[in-house]
Every structure is written in C-alpha cells, then in structure tokens.
Amino acid sequence: CSRADGVADTRTPFAFDELYRIAVQLESLFGGALDIEWVSRESSVSIVQCRPITVSAERRVHWSNTNVNENYPGPITPLLYSIARDAYYNYFKNLARLLQVPRDAISDLEPDFANIIGAFGCRMYYNMTSIHNVIARSPFAKLLRGAFDNFVGYAQGDVSAQGKRRARNVVRFASSFIALNYRLPDNVRAFEARADAYAREYTAALELPALRASFHQFIEIRMHGWYRASLADFFAMVHHGLLGAYCRRYFADDASGVHNTLVQAIPGLVSSKPVAEIWRIAQMIRADERTLEVLRSCTSTEVLLYLRGERMAHSPTTRAIDDYLETWGFRCSGELMLTVDAYCDAPERFIDLLRGYVDQPGPDPDITINAKAEERRNFTRSLRRVLVRKRGLLAPLAFVDIAAMHILVRLCIGGIASRERVRLKQALLYHRFKIVLKRIGAQLVSADVIDNADDIMYLRHEEIAELLAMSQLLPGATREIVSARRIEFSLASTKVYPDDFSTAAGAQ
C-alpha cells in the first residue's frame, strides 16, 4: 500500500484505513513528516508515540544581479556567458593568490571559483554563496565581506561558511595588501597600455589567420591578464569599505551622508569627461538655430545626412560630434554585451542621446563638479572641528583621527579613479573584440561553416577557437547547435527573476 493512493492491500492484517486517517491528521497537526509508533489489535489502532523526522537543513544558494545588471543589462548570449564564467573564475582565483590566501584554501575553493556567476532567464547573476565562501577564507573576512556587499549593493546578509584566521596568514595578507596597493598605479597603467595596444592592432586583423590571433589575444587578456584590472576593483571596494567603517565609528548618526560627501566630485574622473563633452556639443547645437531646427524636426538619419552635407561637413559642431564618436563613442549602456551597437557604430543612437541634452539643458557639468568639490573641501574642514570636539580633553588625539580620515579619503578616491580608468579600457577592449567577432562571423559565413555572421554569438568561446583551428570533434553539428541554442535562448530570455533570490543547491 502507499500514502499516494491510500488503498490497502487486502492481505494487510491490520486496519490500514484507520491508521492512514490518523497519520494524515497527525502530519497536518504537526506540519511535517513524522516518525509514528503504533499498535493494532483487530480493528483498533492505537498511537504509542510520534515525533518529527529530523532532516538536514536544505542547503541554499543565494543569487544577486543588483550590481551585475549595470554591465549586463539584458539577456547574454552563450558566447558572452562562456567568457564571463571563465573570466570570473580566473578573476577571483588570481586575486586570492595575489592576496596570499593559503594554497590549501584555494584548492578547497575550486568549486566556488568555478561557480562565481550563474544565469537565470539568460541574465547574469552573482553566486553570492560562492563569493562569500571565497571571502571567508581570507584574513579580515568580515571586513572584506561587508565591503563587497556594500560595493555591489547586496543587502541579504551573510551566506558564507566561516573561515579560520591564522596569525601567519594575517601577516602575509597585510604585507601583500600594502605592496599591491603601492603598485596599483603601475598596474593600472600596464593594463591601459595592453588595452590600447589591442585596440590598435585589431584594425589590421581582416583575414582569418589574423582574426584568429586577435580572438585568442582577447581571451588571453580576459582570462590571464585581468589581474591588474582586478586590483583596481579590489582596492576601490576595500578603501570604500574602510572609509565607511570609519564614518560609522565617528559619525554614526549620519555615517552614510558623511561617507558620500567625502568622496563626491572626484577631480579628473574619466567617466565625467564624456558627459562634459556631450553638454558642450548640445550648447553648440542650441546656439545654431538651423541645426537646432533640424535636430528637432528630422529623424536621426536625416540629421546625420545634414551634418555630413556640404554646409555642415566642416563646421565646429560636426567636428565636435566626430571627435566625440572617435574618442568616446565606444562607451554606452550595455557596452560589454557584444550585441549592442555603440554610438560610434550607430551614430543615430548618439543623435538620439543629444536630443535629450538639447531639450533638457542643465548646468555645465564642470561648474557643477567644481562646486561639489568646494562643498566637499568645506565639509571636510567642518569634520575636523567635529573630531576635535569629540575628543574633549584628549583633543590632541583628534589629530590622529583627522590624519586617518584624510588618508582613507585619499585612498578611496584613488581607488575609485583607478577603477574608472580600468572600466574605460574594458569598454574599449570589448568594443574592438566585438568588431573582431563580426569579421570572424562574416568569414565563417563565406566558408559555409555557419549561416549568419551572428551565429557565433550562440557558440562558446572554446567552440569558436575550435572552429578557427578546424579542430572540432563534430564539425557537422555546428549549425544544429546554433539553431537549438537560438530557440532555447529566445524562450529562456522571456523568463523574469527577482534581483535577489535563493535556490536549493544543485537546482535552477
């Protein structure tokens, strides 16, 4: 017999129906599975005792895309996902090595390194459980975990295992931390130089052998040359966290406001330069009545034809737009997606952006930044007085507090500035790689390997490498693989998941 059908085998020598009825009532009463001891005599059933069945708590995996969707705002293709999974594996593993996490800990964390990210509805998610497990094996795990969660906007609490802190590991970590922080400017410059070199060299990659070399060079940079870039992310995160901890200690009532004001209006931030350039172009258009009328009454394609026409081809406005597209045109929303046209690839999109700036004019960004910077300086001076008052009779100690504040602010600003420089070159690399992929796709279509140039977006990067080397295990299966993945991608992309949620381990 079984609970599923509630029907007794007629050979059962006891009152099954009565036992079944009582068991179901008890299970409902206690709200779970029970271990029931019973006795039966003729048609009577008696319960001796019952107790809940003890089971191990279900292990949960916690996911979040709160920060990831900034770089990957839409469904990601199999190619991009394969690059991202392997890149995050190397990113976290290399960072652990650089920071002197013990070798045995790194070996134990292999499953977590391999599962730093996942995908739901073809959208990328951080595996917060794996990330917290990695962080937990580092000295100062609590500080690092808090800094990471704050930096990515994750607020669901600790989901990690606990690591052990050993004095020897603390010393090694601290010495490596100091040395790497000292060398951060050199590492950022080295990464920028490598990105710029790739951006120059890709232009010569037109035939398949050169395209193959350019493809592998990007993969090499992304998998094994990103540790320099990862340091900018890491120190921006840690210094931001340390400054936050300082503010909570000394300005508990308004720690968040103090923290934000201390790092506002960072001078020379590369991400502020494109905004200032767009604002200036918008002012040039507003000052030219004819161009302003064309922008407001014509389509983006027609506006471009007007700007390229005889009257405007050499005008300051057209030159400014062309200069912007050449210098900054690879930066846009979804710049890492590999499937989104940048402004330099589709200037019509840039014209659409300009319309918003022209129709809703704001203040000069440079003036705004300078005003905010002056506000930050005045605010910092006022904090010095607050720190002195807090010390009371021990006022001389306030000079230590003030010095610590200035050091932390300088480190935090330096880390954020370095991170923005890295993000700029990251966008450049991905844009140039996207062009290489389009050229490879066109070559493979000509070779009758695939049907459409964008078919390679539905192959993993390892599979593309095999295609380029003609070393596929099943060369005749490429079209079928692409077709099946296109269909599945289209279906999966329609599913919607929360920003933060958890799943049972091993489930999706």
Is the residue at 347 inside a domain? yes
Please tell me the predicted confidence (pLDDT) of residue 122.
Answer: 96
Residue 19 lies in a domain: yes
Nearest to 423 by CA among 232, 245, 275, 274: 232
Burial state string for 376-393 with b = 16 or more CB within 10 A and e = fewer than 16: beeebeebeeebbeeeee
Q: For residue 495, tell me if it sits in a domain.
A: no
Q: Which two tokens stand for residue 444?
A: 């493979």
pLDDT at 24 (0 to 100): 80
d(CA 501, CA 126): 11
330, 431 contact by CB (below 8 A):
yes
- The whole-angstrom separation of Cα 486 and Cα 79 is 12
- Quick one: what percent of the chain has pLDDT higher than 70? 92
Decide if 30 is inside a domain: yes
Q: pLDDT category, 162, cuts 50, 70, 90?
A: low
Residue-level pLDDT at 37:
82
Q: 337, 362, 387 — which closes off a domain?
A: 362
Tens of pLDDT, residues 274-321: 999 999 999 999 999 999 999 999 999 999 999 999 888 899 999 999
Count the domains in the chain.
2
The residues near 159 (Cβ < 8 Å, ≥ 6 apart) are 60, 62, 128, 129, 132
| Residue 405 burial class via C-beta count within 10 angstroms: exposed 0-12, middle 13-18, buried 19 and up | buried
What's the pLDDT at 339? 94
Q: What is the mean pLDDT of the chain?
A: 88
Residues with Cβ within 8 Å of residue 176, at least 6 apart in sequence: 98, 99, 100
- Tell the residue number behind the tokens 């050993």, with chain if given: 166
CB proximity list for 381: less than 8 A, separation 6 or greater: none
Query: Taking the mean position of all CA atoms in its chain, how far away is CA 416?
Result: 16
Confidence class of residue 252 from pLDDT cuts 50, 70 and 90? confident
Question: To which residue do tokens 């993969």 refer?
Answer: 219
Whether 341 is in a domain gets the answer: yes
Q: In this structure, is residue 358 part of a structural domain? A: yes
- Comparison of pLDDT for 17 and 14, the residue scoring more: 17
Q: For residue 1, what pLDDT band results from cuts at 50, 70 and 90?
A: very low
With CA atoms as reference, report the closest residue to 440 among 183, 112, 134, 213.
213
208 in any annotated domain: no
Is residue 307 included in any domain, yes or no?
A: yes
Q: What does the pLDDT look like over 358-386, one tens digit per residue? A: 988 789 999 999 999 999 999 999 999 99
**123-127, strands of its sheet edge to edge:** 117-120, 123-127, 60-64, 500-504
* 49-63, 251-265, 296-310: least confidently modelled range: 49-63
Q: Say whether pLDDT at 234 is over 90.
A: yes
pLDDT digits (tens, 9 = 90+) for 65-105: 988 888 899 999 999 999 999 999 999 998 888 877 888 88
pLDDT tens digits, one per residue of 125-158 = 999 999 999 988 888 888 888 888 888 888 766 5
Q: What is the mean pLDDT of residues 413-423?
A: 96
User: 46 lies in which domain range?
Assistant: 1-55
**Alpha-carbon dihedral of residues 360, 366, 369, 371, nearest 10 degrees?**
-100
Domain C-terminal end among 331, 362, 393: 362
State how far the alpha carbon of 95 is from the alpha carbons of 109, 191, 306, 318, in Å: 13, 15, 51, 45
Contact between 147 and 238 under an 8 Å Cβ cutoff? The reply is yes
Q: Is the pLDDT of residue 427 over 60?
A: yes
Q: Give the C-alpha distances (Å, rounded to integers) separating 8 from 14, 43, 291.
A: 10, 14, 87
Cα distance from N-terminal residue to C-terminal residue, the chain? 33
Last residue of a domain, one of 362, 377, 394: 362
Confidence of residue 204 (pLDDT cuts 50, 70, 90): confident
